[in-house]
Structure 1
Amino acid sequence: MGTEKKHWAKEVVRRTKQRDDIANSRFIQKKINRLVANIAKANATIADFQLQLIDYWSYANPDALAQRVVGLIAEKERTNQSTGQILSSAPLTTTITAVNATTTTSAYKDPVRETVDRIEHQILDYIYKNTSHVKKMFQGRVQLAKAEMEEFKALEDFEQVTTPSQWTIHLMLKSKVKVYSTKNKNYRIATKRVEYDLLPKFIDKIDFSFKIDESVVGKDEAQAMYDQMRKTTKDFRTQAMKLYVQSLAREHELLSNEIKRTIESFPKDNDEGFDAEASYASFKHYHELREKRLNLELEQSLHFLEVERVEGDINNQQEEIVAPTPLRVLGPEFSLQQ
């Protein structure tokens, strides 16, 4: 987009603080080189993990591998016997025997390699499923950059045909839309927090509790009081979150209605010799693209909640205690990150 279409995304401009082609091209090339180096490093790491896994599996499961080899040989011998009985009357016995021998050799795949391949496929499936939100995030960043470019070009077109009164209203509306964008993000994030049961910190940190002297109060009675404390805390958090969402919804509603009224009253008549109808159509097109960009920014701002939700599910799971393998143990790289 920057080198071919002469438009630098805001994501790049925020980092370089400028729109200079030379400076931004150097920045992008540096990022590309770093990404290529990281990919090469990741490939080397994966190859090393494959060797470790093969080595581990060879030592940790010798009996299972031996049974697997015996089963493969027996199955192939049965297949060869059946094939030999069917083709015993064929004139090209020597050729068929040679082909069968070659097929037998190729059919004896390394059982360790087969097992490792199966494990690798399972790991890949796990990675694809649990990193889908990352893929979605980066696809959204590309869509956002394209939407920014379309909006910028539409603004340039509107600037060429706008009337003075329309441009004044546009500048006034621009500040309102910026405030609305912030309020809209806050409101959508709050509703998503309710959906995911992820309270904001200023509400989640509220905890009504105090210690009861169990040497005076009975254990059962003290436990009932502790349960009442937890219930009181939960009810307070629920009511606080409800009020918080209501206040954000009201702010969102008022700003949204104000922007709608401003757009509805946007000048459509000719002004000082300008064709206001064409400029009004240009403004509507620009505003639609601006709303598209704001919606994409909203999706990006909700991404961190997906991460918190996944991390919360992992932390809430009970840890399973597994006895270590006495023969050989994989390195810490193969452990799931908590």
Structure 2
Amino acid sequence: MPCKQRRLAPPQLRVESIIIKEKNTTNTCRYLQPDQILKWYHSYSTDTKSMISNPGNQAYILATTHIYDEWVRDNYELQAWKIYLQMGLEQNHWTKEVVQQTKTCDELVNRRFIQEKINRSVNSVVEAKATLIGFQLQLIDYLSRTNTDTLMQKLHTISTTTTTSTNTNTNTNTNDNDPDQDPAPIPAPEIIERVEKQILEYIYQCTLHIKNMYQGRIEFAKAEMEEYNAFKQFKQVATPAQWNTHLMLQSKIKLCLIKNTNYRITTKRLEYDILPKFIEKINISYKIDESIMDDEAIQTSSDEMRQITKDYRTRAMALYVQVLAREYELVSNDIKRIIQGFPQDNNKAVANESGHAAFTHYHDLREKRLNLEVKQSIHFVEIQQMETNLTTTI
């Protein structure tokens, strides 16, 4: 029979090398592991469950999800560097992230540096897209041959039925016009589009923290530019007394940033139950002579030791947060006291009012930038929590 001659090899064999290649890559995030991907597809919706039931679709999904993940991350990176370049060329402001790496504010050097970053991201995006197209062509070839086999089987069945069943033309017409019989297969390009849409939906759900991180970087760069422009305005109108007060505040502002960062990170750790190592390593555990004590007594003692350890860690963490909060409060109050007494010269009321207003505007923008910097600093704790949530909910 023709349909048997064109039968494909099992899809698992044809894509085995693809899956092995994906397993041999460097350490990946938990959500990129096959069991987590399949779990999401089977439980998310009827459409995803139906999509993963096809062996060819499943092989494509498992082989390409990590490529889509890299593609999404590279696009986030590309967007950030494009905005940095735009800010430098149009606003003449080079972000701290750029200057820290180039060690200069020279336009030519920074523009060249950012352009290299952009080119690298573009190349990664193009390379990922080319790799995906290669996998898509394989899937289209598989789906096309599968549809051809299915069609030939149907034609053979119709031919056999027509030869053996010669009752009446009415019966034949009724079978041919039955809308519920032999539905037309979905075109391969449409299947590719659906598969890609579902994979990206999965990636976007699992990388929301990455999106927030890049948005935070962009917001920080813009806040930094606004603060710098306000600082230049204040510098032009500040009196010597006002300028000296500003210089005195610099070290206190840096100390306050450190104290605030430590406090926020520890608070997040307490919220997510991610203890710092110096507290987590504390473990109350005594050796029990099992030859003397019975199993019930051993279990009771072990439970008590675990409870003591848990209570100790909880109280230690609470005290640690309390101490950090107090340190931040003292430094912050000292800064507020200095700002409230910011000098104003009555002999030059007009000039000093503009200087005072300029400083207030500058300090407000500085606080905005500092808060964004603290938010960036606690990002790694949120990533740990996100990974834990993905492992338990996917």
Report deviation, 1:302: 1.8
Report the CA distance shift for 1:313/1:76 in structure 2 as closer, same or farther (over 3 A): farther
Question: Is 1:179 matched with 2:241?
Answer: no
Q: Give the superposed CA RMSD.
A: 3.2
Question: Is 1:123 matched with 2:204?
Answer: no
Report deviation, 1:215: 2.0
Report the CA distance shift for 1:273/1:228 in structure 2 as closer, same or farther (over 3 A): closer
**How far, CA to CA, are the matches of 2:110 and 2:316 in structure 1?**
46
Identity %: 53
Normalised TM-score (structure 2)? 0.66
Question: What corresponds to 2:96 in structure 1?
Answer: 10
Question: Is 1:45 matched with 2:126?
Answer: no
Question: Is 1:150 matched with 2:226?
Answer: yes
Report deviation, 1:158: 0.6
Report deviation, 1:182: 0.9
State the Cα deviation string for residues 113-161 of structure 1 (Å, max 9, x = none). Answer: 6555444332221111111111111111111111111111111111111
Report the CA distance shift for 1:279/1:214 in structure 2 as closer, same or farther (over 3 A): same
Report the CA distance shift for 1:179/1:222 in structure 2 as closer, same or farther (over 3 A): same
Equivalent of residue 259 in structure 1, options 315, 335, 342 = 335
Residue identity opposite 1:45 in structure 2: T
Report deviation, 1:57: 7.5
**How far, CA to CA, are the matches of 1:154 and 1:66 in structure 2?**
70
Question: What corresponds to 2:167 in structure 1?
Answer: none
Structure 1 stretch 11-20 or stretch 196-205: which is displaced more? 196-205
Report the CA distance shift for 1:80/1:273 in structure 2 as closer, same or farther (over 3 A): closer
Report deviation, 1:44: 2.0
Contact 1:163 1:271 in 2 (8 A): no
Report deviation, 1:213: 2.4
Contact 1:163 1:274 in 2 (8 A): no
More helix by share: 2
**How far, CA to CA, are the matches of 2:285 and 2:175 in structure 1?**
68
Report the CA distance shift for 1:202/1:80 in structure 2 as closer, same or farther (over 3 A): closer
**How far, CA to CA, are the matches of 2:89 and 2:196 in structure 1?**
39
**How far, CA to CA, are the matches of 2:236 and 2:314 in structure 1?**
52
Question: Is 1:21 matched with 2:97?
Answer: no
Question: Is 1:167 matched with 2:243?
Answer: yes
Could you say what secondary structure the match of 1:211 adopts?
coil
**How far, CA to CA, are the matches of 2:361 and 2:110 in structure 1?**
29
Contact 1:270 1:277 in 2 (8 A): no
Question: What corresponds to 2:320 in structure 1?
Answer: 244
Give the gaps of 5 or more residues in structure 1.
82-103, 318-335
**How far, CA to CA, are the matches of 2:388 and 2:114 in structure 1?**
35
Residue identity opposite 1:32 in structure 2: I
Report the CA distance shift for 1:112/1:258 in structure 2 as closer, same or farther (over 3 A): same
What is the total number of aligned residue pairs between the two structures?
288
Question: What corresponds to 2:378 in structure 1?
Answer: 302
Report deviation, 1:111: 6.1
Question: What corresponds to 1:313 in structure 2?
Answer: 389
Contact 1:163 1:276 in 2 (8 A): yes
Residue identity opposite 1:35 in structure 2: S
**How far, CA to CA, are the matches of 1:284 and 1:75 in structure 2?**
83
Alignment map for 1:63-212 (pairs within 5 Å): 77-78=177-178, 108-110=184-186, 116-212=192-288
Question: What corresponds to 2:83 in structure 1?
Answer: none
State the Cα deviation string for residues 199-245 of structure 1 (Å, max 9, x = none). Answer: 11211121221332222221221121111111111111101100000
Could you say what secondary structure the match of 2:90 adopts?
coil
**How far, CA to CA, are the matches of 1:8 and 1:25 in structure 2?**
9
